[in-house]
């Protein structure tokens, strides 16, 4: 349409007439705000900024978008009009009228809003996913998820309640905007109140104002907390209801179905995170028990070895020693010339000495008294002589740092690890040389064992299932990790093998093992 200085319509095209269902004569001469909006005065911001006034003031075209609210069969709808107002000028460049072009952009606008909404939901989901994947600690996950949810949904109160299997109650795990007394007081049985109902049915519930009606299980407490607009959704994972998430506002509020969809997706993510955190907790708990059991086994094993070693040493070797002495005496008692029986007795005597030697070695392997009496370095020196050097391997031993006694359990661990490493070198490596270093530092002790043997594929050796004997390498690792240390093995076929162990020393004194 074309409009004059008094906002009266001078001209209108057919589309405009059709849109308003009027004849030309009913439109010409009428005020534009009357025809367009049925209003008695000119359009004002914010919804209806008048572009025409601007054109008269500036002499330049102006553009705006009007939102028109109207009703179709009792339902309010909005239409958006893009309006361009341009001046019509005379030859002296004076504005004499304004031409207003209107275009219906409702669909584009609605699409734009849908995209914005989808974007909001996606970025909310993304935020929640980020928040819940930051940690495996249940309380950390839940409180940051709740805070983010409240922020996204623009609500100021809320809570996450989890099902307590033992008490058969839903209890608060995290909350926001509620008093601590409230949180401590309330607990919901399945089906009790709105929260219990959501947990029982697994279906979300919305209330525009929960302070009216008799929905709540604790109406007075709820009123005291000022909970009104309310949206509650179950936390479900793998068909099991773990708890509920709710958000609330201190004034009546109608949460939309879009809000609900978003809340449900958030709840789904939280439930998955809760499930993961619980599994993680369980694994950690089992891991702790496994460590304790393993420690017990190692302690019992050491104790048993110590006992057997003592018995062998104190009793059996005494008997063998006196057997050797008796054989000697018997041989001397034989009359001269009894050469044959003498030779037999001599042979028996040699054998019993050999058995005695062998047994002493066994006693040492089992549990060298050296380790208890003189400590790690002495015991390792003994191992060097009796394993590696005996097998013809040249050994270079280096002790660095301030050599000293360490807690007994730590000495035992290191001794067993080195014992296994040496036994592997003699049994598997075909090495010529070996380097052994013990480094006593202030805060940790390091052991390095290196051979120039044939090497092996570490991955394969450790993961190999069909192993008749060998918990050797794995056992080493387990023992070191129980002491909060690290063990690394570097080896490649035909390149030799290197083992590094590092165990921290500043741990609390540990029981004897
Ligand atoms: N120093 C080494 N040199 C070469 N091969 C080794 C060495 N240490 C271990 N291995 C290889 O790794 C395997 C696993 O070792 P381990 O776990 O101690 O079990 P076991 O000694 O009972 O075979 C050995 O069978 C051997 O093939
Ligand atoms: Mg071995």
Question: Does residue 305 register a pLDDT over 70?
Answer: yes
For residue 168, the model assigns a pLDDT of: 93
Percent of the chain with pLDDT over 90: 52
pLDDT at 228: 86
Q: Is the pLDDT of residue 513 over 60?
A: no
Ligand 1 centroid to Cα of residue 455, in Å, is 9
Which of 463, 470, 475, 495 maximizes ligand 1 atoms within 8 Å of its Cβ, making it the mutation to test the pocket?
Answer: 470
Q: Which residue has the higher pLDDT, 466 or 343?
A: 343
Distance set, CA 455 to CA 122, 403, 446, 493 (Å): 54, 31, 22, 4
Angle between helices 317-333 and 339-366 (to 10 degrees): 170
Provide Rg for the chain, Cα atoms.
44
Categorize the per-residue pLDDT at 507 as very low, low, confident or very high, splitting at 50, 70 and 90.
low
| Mean pLDDT of all residues belonging to the chain | 89
- Helix extents (H) in 312-402: 317-333, 339-366, 369-373, 376-383
pLDDT at 215: 66
Ligand 1 mutation pick, 456, 469, 475, 476, max ligand atoms within 8 A of CB = 456
The CA distance from 207 to 210, in Å, is: 6
Which ligand 1 atom sits nearest the alpha carbon of residue 424? 8
CB 410 within 8 Å of CB 503:
yes
Token pair of 479 as six digits: 């023992």
CA of 451 to the centre of ligand 1 (A): 12
Alpha carbons 164 and 159: distance in angstroms, whole number: 15
- Sign of the alpha-carbon torsion through 193, 195, 196, 200: positive
| C-alpha 433 – ligand 1 centre gap (Å) | 17
What is the C-alpha separation between 279 and 95, in angstroms, rounded?
76
- Which tens digits make up the pLDDT trace of 87-106? 999 999 999 999 999 998 99
Q: Given a cut of 70, is residue 41 above it in pLDDT?
A: yes
Q: What is the pLDDT of residues 65-77, one digit of tens each?
A: 888 777 777 778 8
Query: What average pLDDT does this structure show over 16-43?
Result: 89
Atom index in ligand 1 nearest the CA of residue 453 equals: 3
pLDDT, tens digit, 9 for 90 and up, residues 402-420:
999 999 999 999 999 999 9
Q: How far is residue 459 CA from its own chain's centroid?
A: 27
Q: Give, to the nearest 10 degrees, the angle between helix 408-424 and helix 472-482.
A: 160
Mean pLDDT confidence for 14-36: 91
pTM of the predicted protein model = 0.62
- Rounded distance between C-alpha atoms, residue 234 and residue 198, angstroms: 6
At residue 510, does pLDDT exceed 50?
Answer: no
Q: Which has more confidence, 278 or 398?
A: 398
By most ligand atoms within 8 Å of CB, the mutation choice from 461, 469, 490 for ligand 1 is 461
Quickly state the pLDDT bin for 511 (edges 50, 70, 90).
very low
Instruction: Average the pLDDT over each of 40-49, 228-237, 330-339 and give the range with the smallest value.
Output: 40-49
Render pLDDT for 427-458 as a digit per residue (tens, 0 to 9): 999 999 999 999 999 999 999 999 999 999 99
Q: Which atom of ligand 1 is nearest to the CA of 423?
A: 21
CA distance 216 to 188: 11
* Ligand 1 atom showing the smallest separation from residue 464 Cα: 14
Residues 116-135 have a mean pLDDT of 86
- What is the pLDDT confidence band of residue 512, given thresholds at 50, 70 and 90? very low
Which residue minimizes the CA distance to atom 12 of ligand 1? 461
> What would the mean pLDDT of 370-378 be, rounded to a whole number?
90
For atom 11 of ligand 1, which residue has the closest CA? 456
pLDDT band for position 508 (cuts 50, 70, 90): low
Pocket of ligand 1 (CB under 6 A): 424-425, 427-429, 451, 453-456, 461, 469-470, 472-473, 497
The answer on pLDDT for 280 being more than 60 is yes
The reported pLDDT for the residue numbered 469 is 47
Q: Where are the beta strands (DSSP E) in 364-474?
A: 394-401, 433-440, 444-451
Strands 9-11, 62-72: pairing kind: unpaired
- Nearest CA among 312, 311, 347 for reference residue 327: 347
């Amino acid at each position: 349409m074309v409009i004059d200085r008094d906002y009266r319509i001078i001209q209108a095209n057919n589309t405009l007439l059709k849109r308003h269902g009027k004849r030309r004569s009913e439109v010409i001469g009428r005020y534009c705000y009357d025809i367009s909006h049925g209003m008695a005065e000119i359009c004002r911001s914010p919804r209806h900024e008048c572009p025409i006034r601007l054109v008269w003031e500036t002499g330049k075209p102006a553009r705006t978008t009007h939102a028109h609210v109207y009703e179709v069969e009792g339902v309010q709808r909005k239409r958006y009009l893009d309006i361009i107002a341009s001046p019509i000028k005379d030859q002296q460049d004076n504005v004499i009228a304004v031409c207003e072009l209107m275009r219906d952009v409702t669909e584009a606008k609605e699409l734009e809003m849908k995209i914005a909404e989808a974007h909001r939901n996606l970025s909310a989901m993304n935020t929640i996913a980020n928040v819940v994947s930051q940690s495996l600690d249940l309380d950390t996950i839940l409180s940051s998820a709740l805070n983010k949810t409240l922020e996204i949904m623009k609500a100021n109160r809320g809570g996450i309640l989890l099902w307590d299997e033992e008490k058969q109650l839903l209890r608060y795990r995290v909350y926001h905007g509620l008093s601590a007394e409230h949180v401590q007081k309330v607990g919901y049985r399945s089906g009790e109140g709105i929260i219990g109902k959501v947990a029982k049915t697994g279906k979300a519930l919305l209330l525009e104002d929960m302070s009216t009606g008799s929905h709540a299980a604790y109406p007075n407490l709820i009123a005291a907390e000022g909970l009104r607009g309310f949206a509650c959704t179950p936390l479900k994972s793998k068909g099991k209801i773990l708890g509920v998430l709710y958000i609330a506002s201190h004034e009546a509020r109608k949460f939309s179905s879009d809000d609900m969809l978003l809340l449900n997706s958030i709840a789904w993510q939280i439930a998955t995170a809760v499930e993961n955190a619980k599994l993680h907790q369980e694994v950690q708990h089992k891991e702790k028990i496994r460590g304790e059991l393993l420690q017990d086994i190692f302690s019992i094993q050491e104790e048993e070895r110590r006992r057997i070693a003592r018995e062998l040493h104190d009793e059996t070797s005494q008997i063998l020693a006196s057997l050797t002495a008796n054989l000697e005496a018997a041989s001397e008692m034989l009359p001269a010339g009894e050469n044959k029986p003498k030779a037999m007795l001599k042979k028996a005597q040699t054998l019993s000495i050999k058995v005695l030697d062998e047994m002493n070695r066994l006693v040492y392997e089992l549990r060298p008294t050296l380790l208890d009496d003189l400590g790690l370095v002495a015991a390792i020196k003994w191992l060097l002589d009796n394993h590696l050097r005996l097998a013809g391997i040249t050994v270079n031993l280096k002790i660095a740092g301030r050599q000293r006694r360490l807690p007994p359990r730590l000495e035992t661990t290191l001794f067993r690890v080195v014992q296994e490493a040496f036994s592997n070198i003699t049994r598997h490596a075909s090495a010529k040389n070996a380097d052994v270093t013990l480094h006593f530092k202030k805060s940790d002790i390091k052991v390095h064992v290196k051979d120039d043997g044939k090497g092996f594929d570490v991955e394969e050796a450790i993961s190999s299932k069909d192993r008749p004997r060998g918990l050797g390498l794995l056992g080493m690792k387990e023992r070191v990790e129980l002491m909060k240390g690290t063990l690394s093995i570097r080896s490649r076929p035909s390149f030799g093998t290197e083992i590094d162990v590092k165990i921290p020393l500043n741990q609390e004194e540990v029981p004897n093992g």
